[in-house]
Amino acid sequence: MRRRRIWVRRITRGIATIAIGALLGFLVPTVARDLSAQPEAEGVVAESPVARRFIDAFVADDQAKLTSMGLSAEIRARATKFKTDYARIDPPVHLGAYNAGSVGFDAYAAHALSANGTEELLSWRVISTGGRATLLIPPVPIQP
């Protein structure tokens, strides 16, 4: 009986040693990986095609397209005024997007040359929902 207890104790100690070794072999690399510096994971949100059609029509003052999109007369008038205030406008560049369910927010910027010859950087925020888009913030020049 005494020999049996000695062998059970030895086997138990061996299994415990192997278990602790396996646990440490798993935990040490896992903790080291979790505590090391890692780049932030950012979700990439694609540009809304509705917002892109809107901003292209707005910058080009395409009244037919703006009307077909169901936009208000105020926004169509703002597009006309915008087109007359600037001599040349580069194609808008998509800066980023944020989607909150069925509502999408897109940001755009474009380099423009005003009618009096000064260069400006314009920015827009477009909100799109349900296949419709509208201007969230009117174009505002960015001061360097």
pLDDT digits (tens, 9 = 90+) for 84-96: 888 888 999 999 8
Mean pLDDT in residue range 91-111: 88
Which CATH number does the domain 49-141 belong to among 3.10.450.50, 3.40.50.620, 3.90.700.10, 3.30.70.860?
3.10.450.50
pLDDT-above-70 percentage for the chain: 90
CA 81 vs CA 56, 59, 75, 85, 109: distances in Å: 15, 10, 10, 6, 18
- Global pTM value: 0.62
Inter-residue contact 109 to 121 (CB < 8 Å): yes
| pLDDT > 80? residue 32 | yes
| pLDDT > 70? residue 139 | no
CA 78 vs CA 38, 95, 103, 138: distances in Å: 46, 22, 23, 9
**Who has greater pLDDT, 49 or 45?**
49
Measure the N-to-C terminal CA separation of the chain; round to a whole number of Å. Answer: 89
- pLDDT on residue 110: 92
| pLDDT > 90? residue 133 | no
Dump pLDDT digits (tens) for 73-83: 888 888 888 88
Mean pLDDT in residue range 22-43: 77
Residue with tokens 């703002």: 78
- pLDDT on residue 71: 85
Q: What are phi and psi of 32, to 5 degrees?
A: -65, -40
**Who has greater pLDDT, 38 or 59?**
59
Read off the pLDDT band of 143 (50, 70, 90): low
Mean pLDDT in residue range 10-32: 87
